[in-house]
């Protein structure tokens, strides 16, 4: 039992050390986006109802580091502000499916090809979903209270702005130092406590897969290529899977023989579809949009998964071999220091949030 526990902990530590430097880099980039990109400009571009607004929503959502629940109040705010069904649906898909943080972790734990495929697939899926939603007749937006899990202020969560008379860092041309302080506050108060625990859970799940699942166990699943992709779809659609936390799980599954296409299905469908998101889509976009929204994500995820398998085959790439070599470029001391820093920051942010909630009572 002790040997098993030590092996498991070492497996978790290996995953964490490989991911930590890139997670920290992703958080830094997310803070910079929040501090320096004007929210007003984004909201203005997403306000239309034509194909152009759908395209812009898909592009704008790709780098934003919002999870499946964090994106909901932002989308509701955009919808109430005049965004059409298509633009709102497109933003709801591209934003949680990828972001600067999850792309950094994909680079660390998987390979460069998957790092490129992930945002490209998210863009295609968001564009298809938004255009499909635009085909349906418009309906007035229903009032919506933000879910308790989504703490981000809709007026600020896109990238900053003014809410309640308080400037978050990019509404009056503040100095760069002030903007950097705003970005750090966003990382400290929102990203670390919201995404950090899910990332740690993903690391723990990846450790379980590494220890308990035999090598090549997933290489010959019933149904072959389509069976494995459909299996990932069944797992991903109803559950909450954060884009960042799903990455170590996908990497661990690929090491056990899962095809890169099936892993991409998990990375696409998991963050964009879960019970909470589907319920909110019905509220803010109308019940008629729900089957279109889910159907477009399912179809695009399977299609992009199939295309990923073909591309890996054409290029002759072995994703499992790439994953094993993914962290070779970074010094072990840097990886270990980054892992300890990340764990410390996540723990500190959670304790700070807990203290703030106690004081609020």
Decide which of 26 and 38 is more confident: 26
> Is pLDDT at 119 greater than 90 in this prediction?
yes
pTM, two decimals, is 0.73
Which pLDDT score is estimated for 235?
81
Q: What are phi and psi of 162, to 5 degrees?
A: -110, 130
Q: How far apart are CA 122 and CA 243, in angstroms?
A: 11
Q: Quote the mean pLDDT of the chain.
A: 79
Which pLDDT score is estimated for 323?
75
What mean pLDDT do residues 244-267 have? 89
What mean pLDDT do residues 53-69 have? 83
Find which of 91-100, 122-131, 148-157 is predicted with most confidence, using mean pLDDT. 122-131
Which pLDDT score is estimated for 223?
74
> Is pLDDT at 18 greater than 50 in this prediction?
yes
Residue 335 tokens read as 């990886």
Residues in the chain: 361
CB atoms under 10 Å from CB of 349, counted, come to 20
Q: How far apart are CA 193 and CA 196, in angstroms?
A: 6
Which pLDDT score is estimated for 101?
83
What mean pLDDT do residues 287-309 have? 93
Q: How far apart are CA 312 and CA 259, in angstroms?
A: 10
pLDDT 10s digits, 164-179 = 333 334 444 556 678 7
Decide which of 245 and 343 is more confident: 343
Lowest mean pLDDT among 54-58, 226-230, 283-287, 342-346: 283-287
> Is pLDDT at 270 greater than 90 in this prediction?
no
Q: What's the per-residue H, E or C state across the chain?
A: CHHHHHHHHHHHHHHHHHHHHHHHHHHHHHHHHHHHCCHHHHHHHCCCCCHHHHHHHHHHHCCCCCCCCCHHHHHHHHHHCCCCHHHHHHHHHHHHHCCHHHHHHHHHHCCHHHHHHHHHHHHHHHHHHHHHHHHCCCCCCCCCCCCCCCCCCHHHHCCCCEECCEECCCCCCCCHHHHHHHHHHHHHHHHHHHHHHHHHHHHHHHHHHHHHCCCCCCCCCCCHHHHHHHHHHHHHCCCCCCHHHHHHHHHHHHHCCCCHHHHHHHHHHHHHCCHHHHHHHHHHHCCCHHHHHHHHHHHHHHHHHHHHHHHHHHHCCCHHHHHHCCCCCCCHHHHHHHHHHHHHHHHHHHHHHHHHHHHHC
Residue pair 300/125 in contact (Cβ under 8 Å)? The answer is: yes
Q: What percentage of the chain carries pLDDT values higher than 90?
A: 20
Which pLDDT score is estimated for 161?
37
Give the pLDDT band of residue 237 (cuts 50, 70, 90): confident
What mean pLDDT do residues 178-195 have? 81
Which pLDDT score is estimated for 176?
66
Q: How far apart are CA 191 and CA 282, in angstroms?
A: 27
Which pLDDT score is estimated for 307?
96
Decide which of 148 and 185 is more confident: 185
> Is pLDDT at 37 greater than 70 in this prediction?
no
Decide which of 261 and 83 is more confident: 261
Which pLDDT score is estimated for 293?
92
Q: How far apart are CA 186 and CA 156, in angstroms?
A: 10
């Amino acid at each position: 039992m002790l040997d098993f526990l030590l092996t498991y902990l070492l497996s978790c530590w290996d995953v964490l050390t490989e991911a930590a430097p890139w997670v920290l880099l992703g958080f830094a980039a997310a803070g910079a986006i929040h501090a320096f990109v004007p929210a007003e400009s984004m909201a203005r571009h997403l306000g239309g109802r034509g194909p152009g607004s759908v395209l812009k929503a898909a592009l704008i959502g790709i780098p934003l580091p919002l999870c499946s629940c964090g994106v909901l109040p932002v989308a509701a705010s955009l919808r109430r502000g005049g965004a059409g069904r298509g633009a709102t649906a497109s933003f709801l898909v591209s934003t949680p499916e990828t972001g600067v943080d999850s792309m950094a972790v994909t680079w660390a734990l998987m390979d460069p090809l998957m790092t490129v495929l992930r945002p490209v697939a998210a863009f295609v899926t968001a564009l298809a979903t938004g255009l499909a939603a635009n085909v349906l007749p418009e309906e007035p937006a229903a009032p919506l209270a933000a879910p308790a899990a989504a703490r981000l202020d809709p007026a600020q969560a896109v990238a900053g702005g003014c809410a309640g008379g308080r400037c978050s860092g990019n509404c009056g041309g503040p100095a760069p130092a002030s903007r950097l302080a705003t970005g750090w506050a966003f990382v400290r108060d929102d990203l670390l406590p919201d995404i950090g625990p899910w990332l740690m859970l993903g690391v723990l799940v990846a450790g379980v897969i590494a220890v308990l699942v035999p090598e090549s166990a997933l290489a010959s699943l019933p149904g072959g290529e389509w069976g494995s992709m459909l299996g990932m779809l069944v797992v991903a659609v109803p559950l909450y899977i954060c884009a960042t936390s799903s990455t170590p799980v996908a990497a661990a599954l690929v090491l056990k023989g899962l095809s890169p296409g099936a892993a991409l299905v998990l990375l696409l469908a998991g963050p964009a579809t879960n019970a909470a998101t589907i319920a909110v889509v019905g509220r803010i976009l109308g019940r008629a949009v729900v089957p279109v929204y889910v159907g477009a994500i399912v179809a695009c995820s399977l299609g992009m998964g199939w295309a990923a398998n073909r591309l890996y085959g054409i290029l002759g790439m072995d994703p499992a071999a790439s994953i094993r070599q993914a962290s070779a470029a970074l010094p072990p001391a840097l990886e270990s220091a980054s892992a300890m820093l990340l764990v410390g920051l996540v723990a500190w942010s959670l304790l700070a949030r807990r203290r703030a909630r106690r004081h609020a009572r």
